[in-house]
Amino acid sequence: MAHHKSTTRRILGGCLTALLLLGLTLPGAEAAGRARLRVLDLNLKTRVGTATIQYLRILGGVDTGVRKGLNTLFRKQALEKQEEEKTSFAETPEVLQNMKDRGWGPGSMERTVKVTRNRGGILSFTLTDSEYVPGMAHPNPGFGALTVDLATGETVRAEQVFLPQAAWRPAVDREVRRQFQASGKTLLPDVPFPAPEAYEKNFYLTDKPKRGVVFYWSYYDFTPYSEGLSTFFVPFDLLGDAVAPRFR
């Protein structure tokens, strides 16, 4: 259980720290609207498994300093994941012999990027991982998300999306509880229903099906692995004036 949870959190742990540092070290950037983006791939292939790792590259529409810094960071994160997979799919004699003796097929790993918002100087996207290493009982999933201020290169925290002193957490709590109950999912044994403070770092902004914020619980955070990823879309309409104008 611990292995899956730590793997999920590795997706963006270093990325968040690096982005915060990036925001402090880059020169001031002019306000940005919409970034021009491209999704690129990093590939790896061994006899033990193959990996395809997507990452974003900003082509334009953003201050040059911010663009270069974020592009360096996004590629660095992809390269770090590629290095992890080199270890997972290393062609060691022991692994190759086990594959032969036990009839295991080669493994695979895929990371996909999905941009959920790109307007008003705000970029939000998700990273979804699925990894199968020969001998695993089931694929190892991972999920993470980032929301970035394109004017500064800084990450956006949930509390920044809402106006100071706005009572947004009770409204989010009610909606998340309603959706969770409707889903039929169950919590882990002896785990109380989490308050927004327990998961508000796990969010991304989206424009579909309409403008709003999505909070998510990763695998094993509060629910069994079998329940999968839990996502809760909270439309800005439901939160009213609590949402800061630039994020609406």
Chain segment 160-207, per-residue pLDDT in tens: 999 988 889 999 999 999 999 999 999 999 999 999 999 999 999 999
Does residue 27 surpass a pLDDT of 50? no
Write out the residue limits of the CATH 3.90.640.20 domain(s) in the chain.
157-248
Give which of 247, 239, 85, 92 is closest to 173, Cα–Cα.
239
- Which pLDDT tens digit goes with each residue over 34-83? 999 999 999 999 999 999 999 999 999 999 999 999 999 899 999 999 99
DSSP bridge pairs for 212: 206, 235
Q: How far apart are the first and last CA of the chain?
A: 38
Who's near 218: CB < 8 A, 6+ residues apart?
5, 8, 9, 142, 143, 202, 229
Q: Would you state the pLDDT for residue 166?
A: 84
CATH superfamily of domain region 157-248: Heat-shock cognate protein, ATPase (3.90.640.20)
Structure tokens that stand for 37 in this block: 């983006």
Q: Would you state the pLDDT for residue 1?
A: 39
Length of the chain: 248
Does residue 26 surpass a pLDDT of 50? no
The residue type found at 31 is A
When computed from its CA atoms, the radius of gyration of the chain, rounded to whole angstroms, is 20
Give which of 65, 39, 35 is closest to 52, Cα–Cα.
39
Q: Would you state the pLDDT for residue 138?
A: 87
The answer to whether the beta carbons of residues 243 and 162 sit under 8 Å apart is: yes
* Residue pointed to by tokens 């959190």: 9
Does residue 224 surpass a pLDDT of 90? yes
Q: How far apart are CA 138 and CA 118, in angstroms?
A: 34
Band (pLDDT 50/70/90 cuts) for residue 11 is low
Does residue 245 surpass a pLDDT of 60? yes
What average pLDDT does the chain have?
89
- Which CATH number does 1-152 carry? 3.30.565.40
* Entry pTM: 0.85
Does residue 24 surpass a pLDDT of 70? no
Residue 73 CA neighbour count, 13 Å, CB half: 25
The answer to whether the beta carbons of residues 163 and 241 sit under 8 Å apart is: yes
Helix (H) or strand (E) holding 94: helix 93-102
Write out the residue limits of the CATH 3.30.565.40 domain(s) in the chain.
1-152
Q: How far apart are CA 110 and CA 120, in angstroms?
A: 30
How many angstroms from the chain centroid is the CA of residue 19?
14
